[in-house]
């Protein structure tokens, strides 16, 4: 319905009578694979979308020889991303030129432009996509949506601007969801608890249709089901399944929180089986020499897992919390305490283009930056990544200020406008610093190289005679600053023979490897066994994200990521009824946590610089979410394990916890 | 396009109201069903007040009505007749940020920024009622506002800093 005001459009929509013919629903991916299940797409004759396998080493032999086998089954409930800004799109047509400008609350203006051009037939060069300050994404805006294409087509057809703003309920129903998978994981181990092999099998709901990355999301975790642990054999299998639900796609962590959850829960189950402390069993299994090619085939860049585990234990005062736990049990306290670990390993910084090609992604994983010195000595940094809360303006300006020796406030970082920035691959997968930030760094190096040539020419010395520090070239008592050189490059009155005027440089960076953050997260919960209520009372996180450019930005990413992961463990769950109706359709019954539900976080850090990029940085946007869900659920199980509880489904609501406690008591 | 006798257009139901927003008085002819948040955003152009949900759950639209924090998506414009409203645009004075705004900036108390105007307004109201809140009072005092980016850690620090300077 198109109208001049929101109220008119709503009224007009009410005049439309729709007769629906209900089709049979199937909302559960395992049920959808059973004989006789309703088929979502009749053409296919099956709900199985694909099966993807990865295998290395002799897994069967390892399981045959294993003294101990742990077999676990976990459910990753469906989640709703809940960026605070709903999606929205405005398209302004310019009929005289045939150009169209789209403002969209998207994470991916560049990918949206090429995709929407292909969908609508608007020539790519006539389409400008602007993603201004975008209010959060978490993967939900890493997509190209029907409303964007519709607004584009309608604006072109009507020759008038078109605006569409999503309501929250529309967002819950039609913006992508996350997770929704059944995980079966098996560990083959020695009697001491040394893991030899991992076997993981996933059954994942795709929803009714595939969105941008739907089938690829669980595969982003395909290499990580052995976690931070050294194993010799590895087997992974994932089956994507059509269900009559909203499509799943990338939600913060995308495949890696799921993998981390499975291995971190399973290693705790193994610890219980062989009678070891969760700390001890992790130390027994850690990867220790880097770079290390892991069983699944990728190479971990760097790390020191004992270091972050030690730091986290000290921050927590582990022995004191265990003592409190024992004393409560001793006095039969109805409030139990549980301690949960997650010593995660993550791969992020999407991505080496060749690897994306190998798993049949439709695009590369590089990114770009252009740095332009203006005549007055201020600097524009144009980036191909597209922030929506990650502080690129701050971090990237720091990188440039350091290299060019100009004031932080004299640097303007511009992003999110395809008419302004170089072609880029946008922001997701903790890639902005490790890919886009390196492009910025390398472009700044090129500026300095050119400035050095101009300085040498004007000071009449050899380039290698020049010292460079803090934006100032010096030699033989003469000096020129980068700002002075910028003006010289602009006037071009006195440049070396044959040199192009201007002081501007670009770089496109394609990473040679992923980056591999790791860390130790420890959750402490207090569970009221009479009500089932779980209270997260402490949360310790020690992360190694390589070199840190801005500690406040990094801490902020971890705080927010942790909270989203905690929310999966304790509160959030998207639920469909058997007829396929979403019954958690608003913030009233889908429980996004408030400040009252979470504690202050206790953060520490260790640092092993990544050897695969010149800044030594690793990604941080998703670490918190990847690590925290497992830590919290391990804490919940740890609190109740002495009573005989070994598993609780997520979210660990008071009802689920209370029932679990009652069940083992009876 | 729309028929001229559209049933939603009830011109005879329009009511004249007088609302003071950030110190300026506005006489407006409002449709009775117009929510205050859209009066602020679309009639007065004060787009700092955001809409985040349909269910008064998220608090992104928080403003002050006669000094108390209110979710402006749950108030009809006509209900604000004769009242004084402060929005995020009304906090800074002579180009200087309000101490609560300054505190959110100093402590990295925001990331995407969408919820921030609501949090700032809710904090101004909280500190008016409880000038020296404990961490628990801060967390409970702000539980009507949702943030998806910060995990609230630095928002709590921001409120503590603002309370320290005496708002």
Q: Where are the alpha helices (DSSP H) in A195-317?
A: 256-274, 278-285, 305-316
- A551 and A644 in a single domain? The answer is yes
State the pLDDT at residue A161. 98
Determine, for residues A11 and B6 on separate chains, whether the beta-carbon distance falls below 8 Å: yes
Measured CA to CA, the distance from residue A519 to residue A545 in angstroms comes to 8
- A542 and A650 in a single domain? The answer is yes
Q: Are A39 and A46 in contact (CB under 8 A)?
A: yes
Q: Tell me which residue of A389, A186, A221 sits closest to A296, measured CA to CA.
A: A221
Residue B87, chain A, CB below 8 Å: the answer is no
What token pair was written down for A222?
């395909």
Each residue of A534-546: pLDDT tens digit? 999 999 999 999 9
Topology annotation, domain B14-89: Ubiquitin-like (UB roll) (3.10.20)
Write the residue in B55, B152, B155 that is nearest to A587 by C-beta.
B55
State the pLDDT at residue B3. 43
Count of domains observed in chain A: 4
Determine, for residues A389 and B50 on separate chains, whether the beta-carbon distance falls below 8 Å: no
Determine, for residues A86 and B52 on separate chains, whether the beta-carbon distance falls below 8 Å: yes
Residue A587, chain B, CB below 8 Å: the answer is yes
Residue of A nearest to B157 (CA): A600
Q: For residue A329, what are the CA distances in angstroms to A41, A380, A609?
A: 54, 62, 43
Where are chain B's structural domains?
14-89, 99-164
Residue of B nearest to A83 (CA): B148
Contacts of A553 in chain B (CB under 8 A): 108
Residue B38, chain A, CB below 8 Å: the answer is yes
Residue A117 φ then ψ, to 5°:
-65, -45
Q: Evaluate whether residue A338 is within a structural domain.
A: yes
Each residue of A247-283: pLDDT tens digit? 999 999 999 999 999 999 999 999 999 999 999 999 9
Residue A16, chain B, CB below 8 Å: the answer is no
- A360 and A342 in a single domain? The answer is no
Q: How far is A2 from chain B (nearest CA, A)?
A: 7
- A505 and A570 in a single domain? The answer is no
Q: Are B67 and B128 in contact (CB under 8 A)?
A: yes
- What do you get for the CA distance between the two ends of chain A, in Å? 58
Determine, for residues A587 and B135 on separate chains, whether the beta-carbon distance falls below 8 Å: no
Residue A389, chain B, CB below 8 Å: the answer is yes
What token pair was written down for A26?
């199937």
What percent of chain A is predicted at pLDDT more than 70? Answer: 100
Q: Evaluate whether residue A283 is within a structural domain.
A: no
Each residue of A359-397: pLDDT tens digit? 788 899 999 999 999 999 999 999 999 999 999 999 999
- Over 50: is that where the pLDDT of B2 sits? no
- Over 60: is that where the pLDDT of B31 sits? yes
Q: Which residues pair with residue A518 across a beta bridge?
A: A345, A544
Measured CA to CA, the distance from residue A332 to residue A326 in angstroms comes to 10
Write the residue in B57, B149, B155 that is nearest to A588 by C-beta.
B57
Bridge-based pairing state of the strands A411-414 and A127-130: unpaired
State the pLDDT at residue A178. 98
Q: Tell me which residue of A84, A173, A162 sits closest to A592, measured CA to CA.
A: A84
Tell if the pTM clears 0.90, that is, is over it: yes
Structural domain for A309, as ranges: 302-348+516-666
- A463 and A390 in a single domain? The answer is yes
- A532 and A654 in a single domain? The answer is yes
Q: For residue A115, what are the CA distances in angstroms to A129, A143, A432?
A: 11, 10, 21
Interface of A with B in 404-433 (CB under 8 A): none
- A49 and A195 in a single domain? The answer is yes
- A454 and A491 in a single domain? The answer is yes
Pick the last residue of a domain from A454, A486, A509: A509
Kindly report the CATH number that applies to the domain delimited by B99-164. Answer: 1.10.150.120
Each residue of A627-658: pLDDT tens digit? 999 999 999 999 999 999 999 999 999 999 99
Q: Evaluate whether residue A133 is within a structural domain.
A: yes
What does DSSP assign to residue A213? S
- Over 70: is that where the pLDDT of A569 sits? yes
Contacts of B144 in chain A (CB under 8 A): 594
Q: Evaluate whether residue A632 is within a structural domain.
A: yes
Pick the last residue of a domain from A489, A509, A529: A509
Same fold, B14-89 and B99-164: no
Each residue of B80-109: pLDDT tens digit? 999 999 999 999 999 999 999 999 999 999
Measured CA to CA, the distance from residue B96 to residue B134 in angstroms comes to 27
Contacts of B74 in chain A (CB under 8 A): none
- Over 80: is that where the pLDDT of A626 sits? yes
Average pLDDT over residues A76-97: 97
Bridge-based pairing state of the strands A367-373 and A335-345: unpaired
Determine, for residues B149 and A601 on separate chains, whether the beta-carbon distance falls below 8 Å: no
Measured CA to CA, the distance from residue B36 to residue B79 in angstroms comes to 8
Determine, for residues A596 and B143 on separate chains, whether the beta-carbon distance falls below 8 Å: yes
Which helix (H) or strand (E) segment holds residue A558: the answer is helix A551-570
Determine, for residues B139 and A134 on separate chains, whether the beta-carbon distance falls below 8 Å: no
Q: Evaluate whether residue A277 is within a structural domain.
A: no
State the pLDDT at residue B11. 58
What token pair was written down for A188?
């083959």
Look up the ipTM and state it.
0.97
State the pLDDT at residue B1. 40
Q: Tell me which residue of A1, A364, A270 sits closest to A150, measured CA to CA.
A: A1
Q: Evaluate whether residue A655 is within a structural domain.
A: yes
Q: How far is B110 from chain A (nearest CA, A)?
A: 8
Pick the last residue of a domain from A174, A205, A220: A174
Q: Evaluate whether residue A578 is within a structural domain.
A: yes
Each residue of A186-220: pLDDT tens digit? 999 999 999 999 999 999 999 999 999 999 999 99
């Amino acid at each position: 319905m198109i109208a001049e005001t929101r109220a008119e459009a709503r009224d007009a929509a009410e005049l439309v009578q729709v007769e629906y013919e209900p089709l049979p629903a199937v909302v559960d991916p395992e049920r959808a694979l059973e004989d006789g299940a309703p088929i979502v797409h009749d053409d296919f004759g099956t709900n199985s979308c694909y099966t993807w396998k990865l295998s290395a080493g002799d897994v069967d032999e390892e399981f045959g020889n294993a003294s101990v086998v742990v077999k676990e089954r976990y459910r990753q409930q469906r989640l709703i991303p809940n960026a605070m800004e709903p999606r929205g799109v405005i398209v302004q047509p310019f009929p005289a030129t045939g150009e169209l400008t789209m403002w969209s609350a998207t994470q991916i203006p560049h990918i949206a432009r090429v995709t929407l051009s292909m969908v609508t037939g608007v020539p790519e060069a006539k389409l400008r996509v602007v993603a201004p300050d975008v209010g959060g994404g978490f993967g939900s805006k890493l997509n190209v949506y029907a409303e964007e294409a519709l607004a584009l087509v309608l604006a072109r057809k009507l020759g008038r601007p078109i605006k569409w703003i999503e309501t929250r309920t529309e967002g819950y129903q039609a913006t992508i969801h996350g997770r929704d998978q059944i995980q079966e994981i098996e560990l083959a181990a020695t009697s001491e608890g040394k893991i030899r092999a991992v076997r993981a099998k996933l059954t994942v709901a795709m929803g009714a249709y595939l969105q941008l990355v739907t089938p690829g999301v669980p595969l982003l975790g395909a290499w990580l089901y052995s976690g931070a642990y050294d194993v010799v054999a590895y087997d992974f299998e994932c089956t994507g399944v059509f269900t009559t639900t909203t499509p799943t796609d990338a939600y913060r962590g995308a495949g890696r929180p799921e993998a981390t959850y499975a291995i971190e829960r399973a290693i705790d189950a193994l610890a219980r089986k062989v009678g070891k402390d969760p700390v001890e069993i992790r130390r027994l299994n850690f990867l220790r020499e880097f770079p290390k090619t892991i069983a699944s085939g990728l190479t971990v860049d760097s790390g020191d897992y004992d270091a972050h585990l030690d730091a986290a234990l000290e921050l927590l005062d582990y022995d004191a919390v265990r003592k409190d736990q024992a004393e409560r049990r001793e006095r039969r306290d109805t409030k139990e305490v549980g301690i949960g670990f997650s010593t995660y390993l993550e791969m992020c910084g999407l991505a080496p283009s060749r690897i994306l090609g190998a798993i049949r992604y439709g695009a590369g994983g590089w990114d770009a930056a252009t740095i332009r010195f203006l005549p007055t000595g201020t600097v524009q940094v144009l980036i191909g990544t597209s922030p929506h809360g990650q502080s690129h303006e701050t971090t990237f300006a720091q990188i440039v200020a350091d290299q060019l020796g100009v004031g932080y406030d004299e640097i303007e970082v511009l992003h999110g406008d395809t008419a302004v920035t170089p072609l880029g691959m946008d922001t997701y997968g903790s890639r902005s610093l490790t890919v886009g930030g390196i492009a910025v760094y390398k472009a700044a190096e090129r500026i300095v190289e050119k400035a050095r040539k101009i300085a040498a020419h004007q000071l009449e010395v050899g380039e290698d005679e020049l010292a460079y520090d803090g934006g100032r070239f010096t030699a033989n008592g003469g000096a020129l600053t980068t700002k002075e050189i910028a003006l010289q490059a602009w006037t071009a009155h006195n440049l070396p023979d044959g040199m192009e005027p201007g002081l501007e440089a670009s770089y496109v960076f394609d990473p040679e490897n992923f980056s591999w953050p790791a860390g130790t997260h420890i959750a402490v919960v207090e569970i009221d066994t009479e009500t089932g209520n779980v209270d997260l009372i402490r949360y310790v996180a020690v992360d190694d994200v390589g070199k840190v450019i801005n500690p406040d930005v990094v801490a902020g990413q971890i705080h927010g990521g942790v909270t989203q992961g905690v929310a999966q463990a304790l509160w959030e769950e998207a639920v469909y009824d058997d007829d396929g109706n979403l019954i958690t359709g608003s913030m009233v019954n889908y429980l996004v946590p408030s400040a009252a539900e979470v504690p202050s976080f206790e953060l520490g850090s260790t640092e092993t610089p990544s050897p695969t990029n010149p800044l030594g940085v690793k990604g941080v946007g998703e670490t918190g979410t990847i690590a925290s869900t497992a830590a919290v659920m391990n804490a919940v199980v740890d609190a109740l394990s002495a009573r005989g509880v070994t598993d609780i489904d997520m979210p660990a609501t008071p009802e689920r916890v209370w029932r679990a406690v009652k069940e083992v008591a009876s | 396009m729309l028929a001229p006798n559209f049933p939603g257009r009830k011109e005879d139901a329009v009511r004249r109201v007088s609302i003071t927003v950030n110190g300026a008085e506005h006489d407006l002819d409002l449709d009775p069903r117009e929510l205050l948040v859209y009066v602020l955003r679309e009639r007065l152009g004060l787009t700092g007040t955001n809409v985040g949900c349909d269910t008064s759950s998220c608090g992104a639209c928080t403003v002050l009505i006669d000094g108390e924090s209110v979710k402006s998506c749950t108030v009809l414009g006509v209900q604000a007749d004769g009242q004084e409203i402060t929005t995020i645009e009304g906090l800074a004075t002579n180009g200087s940020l309000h101490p609560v705004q300054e505190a959110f900036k100093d402590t990295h108390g925001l990331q995407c920024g969408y919820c921030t105007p609501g949090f700032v307004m809710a904090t101004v109201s909280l500190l008016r009622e409880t000038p020296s809140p404990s961490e628990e009072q801060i967390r409970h005092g702000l539980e009507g506002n949702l943030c998806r980016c910060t995990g609230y850690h630095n928002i709590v620090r921001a409120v503590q800093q603002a309370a320290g300077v005496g708002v």
